[in-house]
Amino acid sequence: HCSRYQIHHQTSSIVEDELDPFSLVADELSLVSNKLRAMVVTEVPKLASAAEYFFKMGVEGKRFRPTVLLLMSTALNLPIPNCSPPIELEDTLTTDLRSRQQCIAEITEMIHVASLLHDDVLDDADTRRGIGSLNVVMGNKLSVLAGDFLLSRACVALASLKNTEVVSLLAKVVEHLVTGETMQMTTTSDQRCSMEHYMQKTYYKTASLISNSCKAIAILAGQTAEVAMLAFDYGKNLGLAFQLIDDVLDFTGTSASLGKGSLSDICHGIVTAPMLFAMEEFPHLRAIVDEGFENHKNIDLALEYL
Ligand code: GRG
């Protein structure tokens, strides 16, 4: 993929598939998916089927995070420009580096899926990735245990990289996920209606995983602290943008396109970005938000403002 990118780069040719980031790393993404299935093998039958549930072919989700991380690896492993003499990585070194970065993509997806399993229990969700959520199929208890199991396997893979900086970055992300979810569950009315609180919560809940794993890719590539910080900022902004769009899709998407019920956030009383913007324009909406959405009439009322 690296050489493909360079060929296009040198000739400045813009071809259709260059514009599709997923196709640039499609083959490698299949490797990551196969590896993920192998990483959740266990001799405990119930745990095996629970853990495999969302790593089955066809229910793998968008694999947005692994895609971003593989692309980030491509960008950061290129020879450093304006460097004289040019630093070229040896083939064996490149292969080893790339497989360590693939490992970050796998760990990130495992942490993500673990958080989805726990989230669906907390939200009593019934659909995920277009099929019944695991809590519906196997019950809350096994869903929680399956999430714990995935986290444990992610930790083992992380330790195998033998890089303490990377270990502490991704370990901290797990705390951020928990913090973001807790902030969402325990808010005062003022906090729920504040954009600052929303951005902080969204960093913890969604952007931290993407930004810190982008930074980990840069660290493994041996990049400078400055480049690692740029990779972090890129992942942070991408993660925040991802959640903003996810929030909009909660209102505009269909259950088929979302793989879960539409309006599921609003039904759980979550004040999403469109609602925050609408509240700025229509202060009356605040009273409806404060009253809550257990009363379905309030959902219809709020939708009128959106
Ligand atoms: C056990 C790690 C762990 C955490 C517990 C429950 C919890 C704390 C955190 C939940 C965090 C959460 C679910 C954030 C939402 C992030 C998000 C935008 C999910 C949707 O991601 P997509 O659209 O999903 O990429 P797919 O299915 O495509 O992978």
Total domain count, the chain: 1
pLDDT band of 155, cuts 50, 70, 90 = very high
Q: Is-above-0.95 flag for pTM? A: no
Distance (angstroms) between ligand 1 centre and the Cα of 296 equals: 26
In a domain, 264, yes or no: yes
Average pLDDT, whole number, for the chain? 86
Q: Which atom of ligand 1 is nearest to the CA of 119?
A: 6
- Residue 127 in 3-state DSSP? strand
Average of pLDDT values for 102-128? 95
In a domain, 99, yes or no: yes
- Give residue 31's domain range: 2-271
Q: Which atom of ligand 1 is nearest to the CA of 65?
A: 25
Indicate which CATH number applies to the domain containing 267.
1.10.600.10
Longest dimension (CA), the chain: 69
In a domain, 298, yes or no: no
CA–CA gap between residue 97 and residue 99 (Å, rounded): 5
Ligand 1 near 177 CB (within 6 A): yes
In a domain, 197, yes or no: yes
In a domain, 233, yes or no: yes
Ligand 1 near 246 CB (within 6 A): yes
In a domain, 129, yes or no: yes
pLDDT band of 87, cuts 50, 70, 90 = low
In a domain, 211, yes or no: yes
Residue nearest atom 14 in ligand 1 by C-alpha distance: 205
In a domain, 294, yes or no: no
pLDDT band of 176, cuts 50, 70, 90 = very high
Q: Report pLDDT digits (tens) over 223-239.
A: 999 999 999 999 999 99
ipTM metric: 0.98
Q: Looking at residue 283, what is its pLDDT?
A: 83
Q: Report pLDDT digits (tens) over 3-42.
A: 333 334 444 444 554 567 778 899 999 999 999 999 999 9
Answer with the residue of higher pLDDT: 205 or 86.
205
